[in-house]
Amino acid sequence: MSKYDLNDPTDLDIMRGQFNMYSADDWQEYIDIAEERQLGYKNMNILKTAQRKAGIAKFLSPKVIHWVLSLVDQLDMDEEE
């Protein structure tokens, strides 16, 4: 994942756009993968929050969106290896 400045409106719009590209079904796949890898309670909860808010990033804080997108990148990189 690229480095995003959480204080830059352009970066925030990019992050929100990326978040909104995932559907609730996509988030469920990431939750299943995270459960298999036992990523931890907090990471699981944030993925479930992302699933509930799928497509409506405007209701999530920039820090939460950044955290979720970082988890997605981590899970995708692990899948490739």
d(CA 28, CA 63): 21
40-69 as b/e: b if 16+ CB within 10 A: eeebeebbebbbebbeebeebebebbbbbb
Q: What is the pTM of this model?
A: 0.86
Instruction: Please give the pLDDT value at position 4.
Output: 84
pLDDT above 70 for 69: yes
Read off the pLDDT of residues 8-61 as tens digits, 9 standing for 90 and up.
999 999 999 999 999 999 999 999 999 998 888 999 999 999 999 999 999 999
Of 69, 37, 77, 33, nearest to 50 by C-alpha is 69
